[in-house]
Amino acid sequence: MEKNSAITLRKHKAGQAPKGNDALQLSDLHKLLQSVKKRLSERLSAIENSLMERLQLAQTSLQHAYNTISDLTSDLKGVEKELTEMRENTRTSEIVSELRSKEYNLLFHGRPSESSEETPEQTEHVMRSFLTNSLRCSESDLAKISFANVYRLPKHKSALQPSSSPSQAPAIVVKFVKMKDKNMILKLAPRARQFKKNITRHLPWSMQEQRKALLKKASKLFTSGKRIRWKFEGADYCLYADGERVLLD
């Protein structure tokens, strides 16, 4: 057997074509190789198709996840916007409500206390004396004015008021019964400044901050001959000069 194989190999090396059984064996080997190649190709094609299907499914899932996240992000932004608007509306409503509750109030700054434990009656006496002696409000006019309440602000709140300092006595709050009486006294504010005192509206804290920030501009504009006007707009206390709103820098 080994001898025959050796003879066959020598014939192949010599360039002689195989004959008989030798040719049949090579034909079968060729078919086997072609069959294996075909099966491998089919298997690889099946694997490739499977991978492509899985890849497409993964891409679809990722796209769906991206769309879901995008929708959730959009919804979240909408919710945040609504919450911001709700907070702003609530803030505006609270400020406007506080402003209305103080609509009949004026603050008298710079009036010292009569004693360390000043009573409401003494506080009213200090305020009335200031109106008659310093602001030259007649006794007859003052007698016609009715006060719903007169009291001093607590020290920690008075320190936040415009024109107040920690060394000054807390501001006096005067609540008038009639708006015309309040407006009449408010017109005397320029006289009060001659005595380094001040009379101001009783504003909510946020509006006091706005007024404080705009006071220097208001003073410069008034000195330059502009017509100054303060105006309430929602939750804002606005400064106008000759009809144009003055904004902060």
Last residue of a domain, one of 78, 99, 120: 99
Same domain, 85 and 110: no
Q: How far apart are CA 80 and CA 68, in angstroms?
A: 18
Query: Pick from 169, 249, 174, 193: which is nearest to 217 by CA?
Result: 249
**pLDDT digits 0-9 by tens, 223-234:** 999 999 999 998
Shared domain check, 75 and 151: no
Q: What pLDDT shows up at residue 155? A: 73
119, 57: one domain:
no
Which DSSP letter does residue 103 get?
Answer: T
User: 198-229 pLDDT, tens per residue?
Assistant: 899 999 999 989 999 999 999 999 999 999 99
CA dist 138 → 23, 135, 150, 203 (Å): 140, 9, 19, 27
Same domain, 1 and 95: yes
Q: Which of 27-31, 69-73, 173-177, 232-236 has the lowest mean pLDDT?
A: 27-31
- Same domain as 127, residue 80: no
Q: Give the predicted TM-score (pTM) of the model.
A: 0.62
Residue-range definition of the domain harbouring residue 70? 1-99
80 versus 24: which is more confidently predicted?
80
Q: Are residues 182 and 148 in the same domain?
A: yes
Q: Residue 145 to residues 8, 90, 138, 189: CA-CA distances in angstroms?
A: 138, 36, 11, 17
CA dihedral 113, 116, 122, 126 (to 10 degrees): -10
Of the chain, the percentage scoring pLDDT greater than 90 comes to 39
Same domain, 125 and 158: yes
* Residues 7 and 92 reside in one and the same domain: yes
CA 183, CA 245: separation in Å to the nearest integer?
A: 24
Write the pLDDT tens digit of every residue in 99-154: 999 999 999 988 877 667 888 889 988 888 888 888 888 888 888 898 999 999 88
Statement to judge: residues 74 and 42 lie in one domain: yes
- Coil, helix or strand for 24? helix
